[in-house]
């Protein structure tokens, strides 16, 4: 008999005994009631799920703060991938064997949460077949940032963990070579060359400096040997991909059916793709109208492109990294003064230049996981690609206004604050897995919400910076759908980013390419739109119940934000049902 069926039978048996009690009424007791037997069985299953997942994904485990897994890399061989797919199916069978009626309400929610985690992983491995076509699938399984920049342990301890990690790179590289099936799409090839080449350069030039203060000659010898082997392996992988250039194709599209499955199985959004596209286009039109209105006062005689260029020309005086540090101080003060959302704990984020192997996005934040305590988060800002022209490099540097709302997105009250909440969640299950639409939807939602709360009010250039970020994400949604379901070319996508999101050539090229290997980047706008609709409905419900006067809806936003962030990072349709009692209309 399958383990999953045994668990279901055990839960049913337990429930039967609890209900019947041999026909006798138990004696009254004033002692506090503990968890029911069904809840105890559920806790055992969820703990087993977590431990099984961390064992199978040791790099994810170490990043989450389980440092007994330090230095270990996942088995991404063909056999290892097949074994992981089988493990996930078994986990899904066990979860499905549990009768939701035997569980407490939050346990039923967590059951759906875990099923969503399983379905997401299975989609990318089993249906999209990402390990066999997409170099991006491997990137976050390789990032050594935590050993160099996370202060979770003394530097010598992290150096030993890094050496173990580096020693595992040659095998992982061999597995990646064996998995990637020629011919690959052109954009995938170029991504792999940039990222794997970036890893090689990083190993050669940057790692040793991070550990210079460790006074152990033997460790430095081991580090040099491990780094040299890792760099050579990455160089070889880069050369393999360079040889693929002549065979590379334009066949990257998932196709309409698989794309719809992606949205349904990774985000629990079952709306027709046409409806999502219509909502995205409406948001693009709304933001374009807002840009026209703001430019009419900021640069009345200029075209929209000239107005945007005027804002974009105002670059950070001391450079993006230095100015971002100053912005974080004022943004946190704004969040507190305006009662935007609660801030759990006293952690802060540091700002740094992004490492060479991870510059496919202009900015991103690295946040420790729920098992780490008091560990620094790093807000990374990428410099322009030195291979670009001087004009393109200059254009790539964000404007002061754009940088402000990027700092909102990445730190206060975006990703960093959101992960402070998820890491503080008493449920490790809800803290470990934060979905794409939840995380990016929240961070993008925060940009407009902060403007609505007064950030940049009366400063047209600041509002234009916020609108520019919104237009970029709107075009991502439309480009993703176009590239994967309508036959849009990369050149057409790039043109859309330039003309409708007013992106500079370097960013437009980068964003169009990303849409091919990251089709789920529609989740920025999709997540934002679902959160805004949920906020509208939640506020209306609570205002009607007498929590606040209808004209004072913003007074309820703080409580909405706190409740929204209290669930970890589940699919938003699942959270909507939990917060409102029904799924209702998502968009």
pLDDT digits (tens, 9 = 90+) for 167-195: 999 999 999 999 999 999 999 999 999 99
Contacts of 337 (CB under 8 A, 6+ apart): none
Q: What is the mean pLDDT of residues 141-150?
A: 91
SS3 content of the chain, % helix, strand, coil (to 5): 70, 5, 30
- pLDDT for 111 beyond 90: yes
Q: What is the mean pLDDT of residues 279-300?
A: 97
CB 443 within 8 A of CB 364: no
Percentage of the chain beyond pLDDT 70 is: 93
Of 11-20, 251-260, 549-558, highest mean pLDDT: 251-260
User: Tokens 């890491």 sit at which residue?
Assistant: 423
Mean pLDDT, the chain, integer: 92
Helices (H), 356-399: 390-396
pLDDT at position 121 is 98
Of the pLDDT bands very low, low, confident and very high (cuts 50, 70, 90), residue 523 is very high
Q: How far apart are CA 298 and CA 292, in angstroms?
A: 10
CB 11 within 8 A of CB 41: yes
- pLDDT for 481 beyond 50: yes
Q: Which of 552 and 256 is assigned the larger pLDDT? A: 256
Tell the burial category of 247 from Cβ atoms under 10 Å away from its Cβ (0-12, 13-18, 19+): exposed
Return the biggest CA–CA distance within the chain: 86
Backbone torsions φ then ψ of 377, nearest 5 degrees: -95, 150
Q: How far apart are CA 491 and CA 474, in angstroms?
A: 18
Q: How far apart are CA 487 and CA 489, in angstroms?
A: 6
pLDDT at position 552 is 67
pLDDT at position 392 is 86
- Residues counted in the chain: 587
pLDDT at position 387 is 87
Element (H, E) at 108: helix 105-122
CB 416 within 8 A of CB 379: yes
- pLDDT for 460 beyond 50: yes
Of the pLDDT bands very low, low, confident and very high (cuts 50, 70, 90), residue 153 is very high
Of the pLDDT bands very low, low, confident and very high (cuts 50, 70, 90), residue 360 is low
- pLDDT for 10 beyond 70: no
- pLDDT for 165 beyond 70: yes
Strands 377-381 and 349-353: parallel
Q: Quick: pLDDT tens for 29-82.
A: 555 567 889 999 999 999 999 999 999 999 999 999 999 999 999 999 999 999
Of 174-183, 381-390, 485-494, 510-519, the range with the lowest mean pLDDT is 381-390
Backbone torsions φ then ψ of 65, nearest 5 degrees: 105, 5
Q: How far apart are CA 203 and CA 224, in angstroms?
A: 9
Q: pTM, whole model, 2 decimals?
A: 0.91
- pLDDT for 483 beyond 90: yes
β partners of residue 364: 380
Percentage of the chain beyond pLDDT 90 is: 83
Q: What would the 3-class secondary structure string for 197-212 be?
A: HHHHHHHHHCHHHHCC
pLDDT at position 4 is 37
In 3D space, the residue among 535, 446, 555, 516 whose CA is nearest the CA of residue 133 turns out to be 516
Backbone torsions φ then ψ of 140, nearest 5 degrees: -75, 0
Strand runs labelled E in 326-456: 349-353, 363-366, 377-381
- pLDDT for 414 beyond 80: yes
pLDDT at position 34 is 77
Element (H, E) at 269: none
Of 330-339, 344-353, 387-396, 501-510, highest mean pLDDT: 330-339
Both tokens of residue 338? Answer: 């305006």
Complete edge-to-edge strand list for the sheet that includes strand 349-353: 349-353, 377-381, 363-366
β partners of residue 185: 249
DSSP, res 355: P
CB 202 within 8 A of CB 165: no
Cβ of 215: how many Cβ atoms within 10 Å? 8
Instruction: Give CA torsion, residues 161, 569, 430, 453, to 10 deg.
Output: 100
pLDDT at position 30 is 57
Q: Hey, where are the domains in the chain? A: 3-16+36-247, 260-317+332-344+401-529
């Amino acid at each position: 008999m399958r383990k999953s069926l045994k668990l279901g039978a055990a839960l049913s048996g337990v429930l039967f005994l609890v209900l019947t009690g041999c026909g006798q009424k138990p004696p009254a007791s004033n002692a506090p009631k503990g968890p029911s037997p069904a809840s105890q069985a559920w806790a055992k299953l969820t703990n087993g799920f977590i431990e099984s997942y961390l064992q199978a994904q040791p790099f994810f485990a170490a990043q989450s703060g389980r440092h007994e897994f330090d230095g270990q890399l996942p088995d991404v061989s063909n056999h290892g991938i097949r074994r992981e797919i089988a493990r996930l199916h078994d986990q899904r069978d066990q979860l499905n064997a549990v009768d939701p009626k035997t569980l407490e309400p939050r346990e039923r929610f967590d059951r759906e949460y875990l099923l969503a985690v399983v379905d997401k992983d299975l989609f990318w491995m089993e249906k999209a077949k990402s390990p066999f076509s997409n170099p991006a699938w491997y990137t976050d399984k390789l990032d050594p940032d935590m050993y160099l920049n996370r202060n979770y342990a003394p530097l010598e301890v992290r150096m030993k963990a890094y050496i173990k990690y580096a020693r595992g790179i040659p095998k992982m590289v061999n597995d990646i070579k064996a998995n990637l099936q020629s011919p690959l799409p052109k954009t995938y090839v170029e991504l792999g060359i940039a990222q794997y080449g970036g890893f090689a350069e990083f190993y050669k030039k940057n790692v040793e400096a991070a550990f210079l203060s460790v006074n152990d000659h033997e460790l430095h010898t081991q580090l040099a040997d491990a780094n040299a082997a890792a760099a050579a392996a990455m160089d070889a992988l880069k050369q393999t991909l360079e040889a693929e250039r002549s065979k590379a194709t334009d066949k990257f599209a998932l196709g309409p059916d698989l794309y719809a499955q992606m949205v349904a199985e990774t985000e629990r959004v079952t709306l027709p793709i046409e409806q999502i596209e219509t909502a995205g286009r409406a948001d693009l039109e709304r933001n374009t109208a807002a840009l026209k209105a703001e430019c009419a006062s900021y640069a009345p005689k200029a075209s929209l492109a000239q107005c945007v260029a005027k804002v974009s020309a105002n670059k950070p005086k001391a450079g993006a990294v230095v100015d971002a540090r100053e912005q974080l101080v004022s943004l946190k003060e704004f969040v507190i003064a305006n009662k935007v959302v609660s801030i759990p704990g006293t952690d802060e984020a540091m700002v740094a230049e992004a490492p060479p192997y991870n510059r496919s996005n202009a900015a991103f934040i690295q946040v420790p996981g729920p098992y780490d305590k008091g560990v620094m988060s790093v807000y990374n800002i990428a410099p322009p690609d030195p291979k670009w022209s001087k004009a393109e490099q200059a254009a790539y540097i964000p404007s002061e206004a754009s940088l402000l709302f990027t700092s909102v997105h990445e730190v206060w009250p975006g990703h960093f604050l959101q992960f402070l909440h998820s890491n503080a969640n008493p449920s490790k299950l809800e803290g470990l897995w934060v979905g794409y639409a939840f995380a990016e939807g929240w961070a993008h939602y925060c940009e407009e919400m902060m403007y609505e709360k007064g950030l940049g009010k009366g400063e047209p250039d600041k509002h234009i910076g916020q609108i520019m970020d919104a237009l970029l994400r709107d075009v991502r949604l439309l480009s993703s759908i176009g590239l994967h379901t309508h036959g849009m070319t990369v050149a057409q996508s790039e043109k859309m980013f330039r003309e409708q999101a007013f992106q500079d050539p370097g960013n437009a090229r980068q964003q169009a390419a990303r849409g091919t290997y990251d089709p789920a980047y529609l989740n920025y706008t999709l997540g934002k739109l679902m959160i805004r609709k949920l906020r509208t409905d939640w506020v209306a419900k609570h205002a009607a119940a007498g929590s606040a006067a209808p004209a004072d809806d913003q007074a309820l936003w703080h409580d909405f934000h706190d409740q929204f962030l209290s669930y970890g990072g589940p699919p938003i349709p699942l959270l909507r049902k939990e917060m409102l009692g029904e799924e209702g209309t998502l968009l």
